[in-house]
Structure 1
Amino acid sequence: MKFTKIASPEQIERNWVLIDAEGKTFGRLITEVATRLRGKDKPYFTPNVDCGDFVVIINASKAKFNGAGKVANKEYFTHSGYFGSTKSVKMTELLEKNPEKLYKLATRGMLPKTKLGRAMLKKLKVYAGEEHPHTAQIAK
């Protein structure tokens, strides 16, 4: 009989991946990031184990957005649970003030909505410029 191998957390090898967002389409970039964070690109992918790599995105504010008026019209909503506490932020404001939050919100939607998904999202590091403090990890 042949059995499917299931990876245990001790067997997983995590790498650091550097992605430059300059000139890349935002949505396609986020799908690539979510795939790497989840570990679906590895041969030993196991759905109930965090198999993914660490991902560092630089030049986050220089990504391209396709779609007529998507950047101007798209809104992100938050709600605290109290009546009338819905707040919205336009995508243009997020891109100018805090591109890191925009990338994390988009990636979070593509990951599992569980403790495992939250653990995967912690491995995402986003920086608006070229500088990042993870040069030692990536230089391997």
Structure 2
Amino acid sequence: MSLTRRTQQWATFGRTWYLYDMKWQNPFHSARKIAYVLSGRNKPIFEDRTDCGDHVVAINSRHISLPGNEWEKRVYYHHTGYPGGATWTLAHELHAKDPTIIVEKAVYSALDKDLTRHGRMRKLHIFPDDKVPEKIMQNVTHQLRQMRPVPVRLDHIPKDVVDNFPKIFDWPKDFVLK
């Protein structure tokens, strides 16, 4: 077997670590992409009941973006198992308690509903900001593309770029809007 063939086999069967930035991303759309990698569907050797998925390190889960008014409307249900133990928590309250829990629940529900789900969830590493332990970061070799681009704030754009941007109207210098 040639060296390149051996390298190809190792790359196919080996576990790859991916980095995914959750900043300004919808966690439910991103969860499908993350679940795709966790289950190993991106590999040519994928089979439903085998554990061939890769690791995913999700950073900046504190800065996720929910569409519309879902922060006030989305409700998470939990029951303790005792009578009267049902609780409903709004998304913004749950996110304030633990910034990683919404992403974790979204990925959990995006995975296949079978016995491999818990093993695949162990390969998901979620961090509320971009401070990742060096022990984990040294394993990361690939990066997943974000679903939507992160918008740039106007105060972060250099002044010369703003001044040279094409203008629709060329207002006089002494014009004041009243």
TM over 0.5: yes
For residues 31-70 of structure 1, what are the structure 2 equivalents within 5 Å? Answer: 31-66=32-67, 68-70=68-70
Q: Partner residue of 1:5?
A: none
Q: Specify the alignment match of 1:3 in structure 2.
A: none
Following superposition, the deviation at residue 139 of structure 1 comes to: 5.0
Q: Structure 1 runs of 4+ off > 6 angstroms?
A: none
- Provide the rounded CA distance (Å) in 1 between the counterparts of 2:25 and 2:17: 20
Question: Aligned residues, how many?
Answer: 129
- Cross-structure match for 2:138: 136
Partner of 1:8: none
The residue type equivalent to 2:92 in the other structure is: T
Structure 1 unaligned spans of 5+? 1-10
Q: Distance in 2 between matches of 1:28 and 1:18?
A: 16
Deviation at 1:32, TM superposition (A): 0.7
Shift of 1:74: 0.8
Aligned to 1:121: 121
CA shift in 2, pair 1:139/1:107, >3 Å: closer
Counterparts of 1:114 and 1:120 in 2: how far apart (Å)? 11
Identity percentage over the alignment? 26
Describe how 1:1-140 pairs up with structure 2 within 5 A.
12-66=13-67, 68-133=68-133, 134-138=136-140
Asked if structure 1 preserves the Cα contact closer than 8 Å seen for 2:108 and 2:121, the reply is yes
- 1:12 is displaced (CA, Å) by 2.8
TM-superposed deviation, 1:120: 0.3
SS at match of 1:33: helix
Q: Deviations over 1:36-74 (max 9, x none)?
A: 1111111111000111110001111112211x3111111
Note the C-alpha offset of 1:82: 2.2
Which protein shows a greater Rg? Answer: 2
After superposition, the Cα gap between the structure-2 partners of 1:110 and 1:139, relative to the gap in structure 1 and judged at 3 Å, is: closer
Report deviation, 1:115. Answer: 3.0
Q: TM-score by structure 1 length?
A: 0.84
**Cα distance in 2, alignment partners of residues 24 and 107 from structure 1:** 13
Give the Cα–Cα distance (whole angstroms) in 1 for the partners of residues 23 and 111 of structure 2. 23
Where structure 2 has 5 or more consecutive residues not aligned to the other structure, the ranges are 1-11, 143-178
* TM-score calculated relative to the size of structure 2: 0.67
Deviations 1:52-100 (A, max 9, x none): 110001111112211x311111111111222211012211012222121
- Find the residue that maps to 1:22 and give its secondary structure: coil
